[in-house]
Structure 1
């Protein structure tokens, strides 16, 4: 009887930490009048890395969530879309929208920073 309880607890814990890694961002860049930041995600559990363009940078994503398409830059070729924004308290947020079996994650302060989702 103890086995199912332990299995359920392990499954719940595993889901809570589906993504544990780092979020980094380049400085705000400009190309032909369009500004952007390149966002890099590193998954410490798998070693996978992902990159996406945040158009307008985090400065453009303070009153609403911005959509970012991520491409895996490590082997695998996985792609997904996430929502990103920065809150008034300086926290950088990402909602994986279910990609990578992850939910919402955030970190406060400067980038790069570690977070789990």
Structure 2
């Protein structure tokens, strides 16, 4: 598959090259994540709000194995695998209840990710 430095191999498909080009764009350096707000009703009700979420490391994702998209009269079949890492998710948040109001910084480190997708429509 496409090399980590962004250069291509002879065996790379247009899909491989496109994925590398898309994920290496500066807008994917810190991909924005949605605002999250949840209320939990336990012995004491409390609310958790997470904002300013970012996902880092998308440029490390690469296709592996034989990936393809095939369109015929019977429909579309697609299969591909993604491998990469590390990824990191960060959020700034608050936890509020009658007894507590606290600011938190959430950071989740994902050392490696493997994703296999096979679809038939």
In terms of fraction of residues, the more strand-rich structure is 2
Larger radius of gyration: 2
In terms of fraction of residues, the more helix-rich structure is 1
- TM-score (normalised: structure 1): 0.33
